Structure 1
Amino acid sequence: MSKFSTFLISILGLISLNAQNPEFRYPCQMINAKIDSSQMSVIPGSNSIVYLCQSELVVFAADGSGVDVFPQNDINYHQDSLNVLFIWNFDDGTIDTNRVQTHTYAVSGIYEVQLYLVDSNNCSSDTCRIIVCVSASPMVEMNFDNLYICSSDTFFISIGSDSTNNIVINPHDTVSDGFVFSVDTALFIPDGPSCPPGYIDIPIPVNTGSGAALIGPTSIEGVCIEIEHSWAGDLSFSLTCPDGHSVWLDYGDHGGDSFLGIPNESDNSPVCLSSANPPGTGFLYCWSENYPSTGTLNDLDDGASPVPFTDTVINYNYLYPDQFFIGFYNAGCHINGNWILRITDDYGQDNGYIFKAQMKLNGGNLIGFSHITDTTITGPGAMQLPSGQWIISGVAAGTYFYRLYLTDAYGCTSIYPFPLTVSNNNIGTTINGNDSPDALSIENYNCDYHAGAQYLWNVTHGIIASGQGTDSVQVLWQYGSIGYLSVVESIGGCSDSDTIEILIQGINDFTNQNCFSVFPNPTENMIYINAMKDLSDAEILHTSGQSTGIKVGNLLAGEKLGISVLALSPGVYFIRAMTEYGPMKISFVKQ
Structure 2
Amino acid sequence: MRTAFLFVSFVLVACGPAARDGGPGGGGDDDDQPPTGTEACTNAVDDDGDGRADCSDPDCSGIDGCPVCGAVENPEAQPLALPDGVGTGAMCSTDAQCTDPASPNCVAKECHASYNSQLNFIGFPDDAKLADPSKLLKVCVKMEHSWVRDLQIELLTPDGAVFILHKFVDRTGGEIFLGMANDADAENNPIAGTGMDYCWTQTAQYTFLEAPTVSMGGSDTLPAGDYKSVAPWTALTGSSLNGTWEMRVTDLWGIDNGFLFSWSIAFDPTLVTDCAGPIIL
Q: TM-score range by the shorter chain?
A: 0.5 to 0.7
Q: Which runs of 5+ in 1 are unaligned?
A: 1-174, 271-275, 311-317, 368-591
Q: CA contact under 8 A between 1:182 and 1:204: conserved in structure 2?
A: no
**3-state secondary structure, aligned to 1:299:** coil
Q: CA contact under 8 A between 1:192 and 1:199: conserved in structure 2?
A: no
Structure 2 match to 1:343: 249
**3-state secondary structure, aligned to 1:334:** coil
Letter in 2 for 1:295: Y
Q: In 1, Cα distance between the equivalents of 2:208 and 2:234?
A: 19
Q: In 1, Cα distance between the equivalents of 2:182 and 2:175?
A: 15
Letter in 2 for 1:266: A
Structure 1 match to 2:262: 356
Tell me how far 1:266 sits from its aligned partner.
3.1
For the pair 1:189 / 2:69, whether they are aligned, the reply is no
For the pair 1:299 / 2:190, whether they are aligned, the reply is no
Letter in 1 for 2:185: D
Q: 1:301 to 1:245 in 2, by over 3 A?
A: farther
For the pair 1:265 / 2:187, whether they are aligned, the reply is no
For the pair 1:289 / 2:202, whether they are aligned, the reply is yes
Task: State the Cα RMSD in Å.
Answer: 2.7
Q: CA contact under 8 A between 2:156 and 2:245: conserved in structure 1?
A: yes
Q: 1:231 to 1:302 in 2, by over 3 A?
A: farther
Q: CA contact under 8 A between 1:234 and 1:256: conserved in structure 2?
A: no
Q: What is the percent sequence identity of the aligned residues?
A: 26
Answer 1 or 2: which has greater strand percent: 1
**In the alignment, which of 210, 213, 224 is matched to residue 128 of structure 2?**
213
Q: In 1, Cα distance between the equivalents of 2:234 and 2:205?
A: 20
Q: 1:280 to 1:356 in 2, by over 3 A?
A: same
Q: CA contact under 8 A between 1:216 and 1:365: conserved in structure 2?
A: no
Q: CA contact under 8 A between 2:158 and 2:244: conserved in structure 1?
A: yes
Q: CA contact under 8 A between 2:187 and 2:257: conserved in structure 1?
A: no
What is the aligned length?
178
Q: In 1, Cα distance between the equivalents of 2:212 and 2:250?
A: 16
The structure having more radius of gyration, on CA atoms, is 1
Note the alpha carbon deviations across 1:367-404, whole angstroms, 9 max, x for none.
9xxxxxxxxxxxxxxxxxxxxxxxxxxxxxxxxxxxxx
**3-state secondary structure, aligned to 1:298:** coil
Tell me how far 1:294 sits from its aligned partner.
4.6
Q: In 2, Cα distance between the equivalents of 1:353 and 1:209?
A: 32
Tell me how far 1:216 sits from its aligned partner.
2.6
> Mapping of 1:162-561 within 5 angstroms?
176=58, 178-185=69-76, 186-193=79-86, 196=103, 197-217=112-132, 218-254=134-170, 255-270=173-188, 276-290=189-203, 293-300=204-211, 304=215, 305-310=220-225, 318-329=226-237, 332-364=238-270
Tell me how far 1:328 sits from its aligned partner.
2.2
Q: 1:366 to 1:297 in 2, by over 3 A?
A: farther
Letter in 1 for 2:129: L
Q: In 1, Cα distance between the equivalents of 2:144 and 2:58?
A: 33
Note the alpha carbon deviations across 1:488-513, whole angstroms, 9 max, x for none.
xxxxxxxxxxxxxxxxxxxxxxxxxx
Q: 1:301 to 1:229 in 2, by over 3 A?
A: farther
Q: CA contact under 8 A between 2:214 and 2:223: conserved in structure 1?
A: no
Tell me how far 1:219 sits from its aligned partner.
1.8
Letter in 2 for 1:188: A
Larger RCO, structure (CA 8 Å, separation 6 or more): 2
Q: Tell me the TM-score normalised to structure 1 length.
A: 0.28
